[in-house]
Structure 1
Amino acid sequence: MTALHFISGLPRSGSTLLAALLRQNPRFEAGMSSPLAGLFDALLAQMSARNEFSVFLDDTKRRRILRGLFDAYYADATAEVIVDTNRSWCARMAALAQLFPEARVIACVRELPWVIDSIERLVQRNVFSPSSIFNYSPGGTVYTRASQVAGQDGMVGGPYDALKQACYGAQRDRLLVVQYETLTAEPAKVMHAIYEFIGEPAFEHNFTHVDYDVTEFDERAGTPGLHSVNGEVKAEPRETVLPPDLFDRFVHDAFWRDPDRVPDGLRVV
């Protein structure tokens, strides 16, 4: 029987790199963010009381229909282990726990100033290709862009709030927090922790050559390089492109690095 797990967490924090590594294992299927979370939310909304026909649905039927969505989407998958990626899954921990009791969620995280920095680097690298991240608008400054993505409904702020909900919630025993800094510096340690966490036998990964490319998707989003992974897994220190005051605005948000702020039962690697 196929096992199902999830990758979630913050953007620009190694989720595509992690999926690329997992894809090296012939027993696994993984990739960039899938449309399943969006379909899940849309289907759940259509089964709510706002639909007059919802009187014919109870929670047992809703659960069956939602599970059917996953079965249909991955019906042609031949892998023994499927890992679906979406930043929204951290906000759906309670539902996932009921639908897939054996499933685990891997949350990729990174210090927030460097998440913002990574997004800004993409913008500046693709200066002649306005990004879908900012509704294809070419205007603004590094400050307005940072404020937009860090807002509660932004590309970073929304997943950050969802991450906190998952980390402090009742299902945090199903969650493994993977730090980008550890994944790039000690990839073997991280992969060992992940296999142990999901209860799968270890696999010998190639960390010197990792390749995953969805160029067409990234170009349509106006952000070439958004999901591309190639080359060796290694930590590459660099200077930030953010002004110092903007960098400092987010420097204390990595709660997972503070032992006093990490709740009991939450695993961080």
Structure 2
Amino acid sequence: MRPVHFISGLPRSGSTLLAGLLRQNPRFQAGMSGPVGGLFNTLLGEMSGRNEFSVFISDEQRQRVLQGLFDSYYGADTRADVIFDTSRLWCTKLRALQTLFPQARVIACVRHVSWVVDSIERLVRQNAFQPSSIFNYLPGGTVYSRTEGLVGGDGMVGFAYNALKEAYFGADSANLMLLQYETLVSDPARALAAVYDFIGEPAAPHDFENVSFDDQGFDDRAGTPGLHAVRPRVAALERPTILPPDLFRRFENDAFWRDPELNPHQVRIV
């Protein structure tokens, strides 16, 4: 099977931009979050004890079925030599991924949680006439109730943040790298050089002035146009937050990856 790697981490932290840059390499296939992670979980569930026929399924068979998922989804019509699959779920599956794909690497995109929440709230306000799937298409609420929904354990941000901590502090972090949004947008050449080095692939040229990525159909259906929009030119943009000051300060100490003393397994941070 061709090499497969994984993009995970926090939402609104550069995963779509990273995919847009990687796919400039004709040897690579990368995209926004797709269905493979959900299919992976569904297969695990259907092969568990809740299925009366699970007594006939060994761990070796489970592994072959899960590997077959990738073979089938990224089939012969996928001409790329290297696959990058994106899902926030992958940070919770490091042990399984290491077993199935020992050479695979997981790149987790991270960003200060305050700015993640700010970015989502900005999208909500930009699309004032389209309730978003992020909030189950409910049109009510305030910035405070929306934030509570986002950062709860099952919320878009809370689940990804907890999954990231599980991966970062867990015993299976040898194949994990954290890529900071700030690095990706301010120094994309250094960020991509680190990615190439991490996955063991030869460097290739990239155009940071003309990045292309278009999944508008998905975003429109989700009631959140712009959710996966990527600006053509990679650049860091300074702007004030639109969050109330108390809400913004609530998460100012949550960037645990910035503290070297909180990196027991020496996870690579770019």
TM-score range for the pair, normalised by the shorter chain length:
over 0.9
SS at the partner of 1:39? helix
Partner of 1:187: 188
Partner of 2:9: 9
SS at the partner of 1:231? coil
| Superposed displacement of residue 107, structure 1 | 0.1
| Superposed displacement of residue 211, structure 1 | 1.2
For residues 260 and 37 of structure 1, the distance between their equivalents in structure 2, rounded to whole angstroms, comes to 32
Structure 1 gaps of 5+ residues are: none
Partner of 2:248: 247
Q: Which amino acid aligns with 1:249?
A: R
Deviations 1:131-164 (A, max 9, x none): 0000000100000001110001000000100000
Alignment root-mean-square deviation, CA = 0.7
SS at the partner of 2:8? strand
For residues 103 and 185 of structure 1, the distance between their equivalents in structure 2, rounded to whole angstroms, comes to 27
Partner of 1:110: 111
Superposition pairs of residues 73-222 of structure 1, within 5 angstroms = 73-75=73-75, 76-222=77-223
Report if aligned partners of 2:173, 2:265 keep a CA contact under 8 Å in 1.
no
For residues 222 and 264 of structure 1, the distance between their equivalents in structure 2, rounded to whole angstroms, comes to 40
SS at the partner of 2:227? coil
For residues 136 and 9 of structure 1, the distance between their equivalents in structure 2, rounded to whole angstroms, comes to 24
For residues 266 and 247 of structure 1, the distance between their equivalents in structure 2, rounded to whole angstroms, comes to 27
| Superposed displacement of residue 231, structure 1 | 1.5
| Superposed displacement of residue 222, structure 1 | 0.2
For residues 141 and 23 of structure 1, the distance between their equivalents in structure 2, rounded to whole angstroms, comes to 38
Deviations 1:94-132 (A, max 9, x none): 110101001000000000000000000000000100000
SS at the partner of 1:260? helix
Partner of 1:46: 46
Of 64-73 and 255-264, more deviation after overlay is shown by 255-264
| Superposed displacement of residue 204, structure 1 | 1.1
| Superposed displacement of residue 77, structure 1 | 0.9
Q: Which amino acid aligns with 1:258?
A: D
The reply on whether 1:28 has 2:28 as its aligned counterpart is: yes
For residues 177 and 207 of structure 1, the distance between their equivalents in structure 2, rounded to whole angstroms, comes to 21
SS at the partner of 2:93? helix
Q: Which amino acid aligns with 2:22?
A: L
Report if aligned partners of 2:7, 2:109 keep a CA contact under 8 Å in 1.
yes
Partner of 2:70: 70
Q: Which amino acid aligns with 1:34?
A: G
Q: Which amino acid aligns with 1:164?
A: K
| Superposed displacement of residue 264, structure 1 | 3.0
SS at the partner of 2:247? helix
| Superposed displacement of residue 263, structure 1 | 2.2
Structure 2 gaps of 5+ residues are: none
Superposition pairs of residues 56-67 of structure 1, within 5 angstroms = 56-67=56-67
For residues 51 and 4 of structure 1, the distance between their equivalents in structure 2, rounded to whole angstroms, comes to 29
- Normalised by the length of structure 2, the TM-score is 0.98
| Superposed displacement of residue 230, structure 1 | 2.7
For residues 248 and 263 of structure 1, the distance between their equivalents in structure 2, rounded to whole angstroms, comes to 27
Q: Which amino acid aligns with 1:154?
A: G
Q: Which amino acid aligns with 2:19?
A: A
Q: Which amino acid aligns with 1:80?
A: D
For residues 242 and 261 of structure 1, the distance between their equivalents in structure 2, rounded to whole angstroms, comes to 28
For residues 40 and 187 of structure 2, the distance between their equivalents in structure 1, rounded to whole angstroms, comes to 34
For residues 263 and 178 of structure 1, the distance between their equivalents in structure 2, rounded to whole angstroms, comes to 18
